[in-house]
Amino acid sequence: MKKICLLLSLLFVSMTAWCEDNAQADKPRNKYFNIGFSRSKLNQDDFPQLKSKWGAALNVGKTFYLHKEPVLKFLRFGIDATWFDLTYGQYKVETIVDRETFHHAEAAMQVGPSVTFTPISGLNVNAYFRYAPTFSALYCPADNHYDLGYATRLVGGASVTYKFIGVGIESRFGWSKVDEFPQFLGYGGDDRESTKLTGFRVYISFRY
């Protein structure tokens, strides 16, 4: 056990020294523009589950670092503020008489903590978790019906960026209250229903 602890200690010290020698001296680029692919599911009682066939997302924001100098010269903590976050998804569901298409759009803002690890100059690994108050709209062309409502979303993810470009993946989940969601196809009652969303987004990130 002592040998394992000693080995881990030596490994940590070596990694720290290596990172200090190779980390970039100045701050990483703190503004981001992300564009990507989205998949999600909508669940509600007394209504068929909706699975998106395809979707797209775009968001713009900035990381506010909590300290001027990085911890151990390679670790930075910050608060992410996404000024606007747009998501679109198209769903299809089989009914008794037909196959219906739904269009789902959401506009949100995000805020939450993040941590950035810089192992070598120009390479940044970022992890984050954010709260995202959201305006959600669901449209059914079959009967020209809209459902609008407030949604609470939580977003957690990570990205790897080299200089100004990178890739990332994140999970989205949350709940909302929408009007007459089941009534599109004759399901459920007349009251507002709670709707749960789960999904993920894969994106390309531009840092500047």
Could you list the pLDDT tens digit for every one of the 208 residues in the chain? Answer: 544 444 445 444 444 444 444 444 456 789 999 999 999 998 877 677 888 989 999 999 999 999 888 888 889 999 999 999 999 999 987 766 667 888 999 999 999 999 999 998 889 999 999 999 999 988 888 777 777 888 999 999 999 999 999 999 999 999 987 766 555 445 555 556 678 999 999 999 999 9
Q: Is residue 158 part of a domain?
A: yes
Residues near 47 by beta carbon (within 8 Å), at least 6 away in sequence: 181, 182, 185, 187, 188, 193
135: CATH = 2.40.160.20
**CA 81 from centre of chain:** 12
Backbone dihedral angles phi then psi of residue 20, each to the nearest 5 degrees: -65, -35
| Residue 154 maps to a domain | yes
What pTM, to 2 d.p., does this model score? 0.78
Domain span at residue 98 reads 30-207
In a domain, residue 7? The reply is no
Q: Flag whether 152 is in a domain.
A: yes
Give me the number of domains the chain comprises: 1
134 vs 137: CA distance, rounded Å: 10
**Closest of 5, 46, 40, 20 to residue 198, by C-alpha:** 40
Residue 4 lies in a domain: no
Within a domain: 118: yes
Tokens at 7, concatenated: 């080995």
94 occurs within a structural domain:
yes
Look at residue 72 and tell me if it is in a domain.
yes
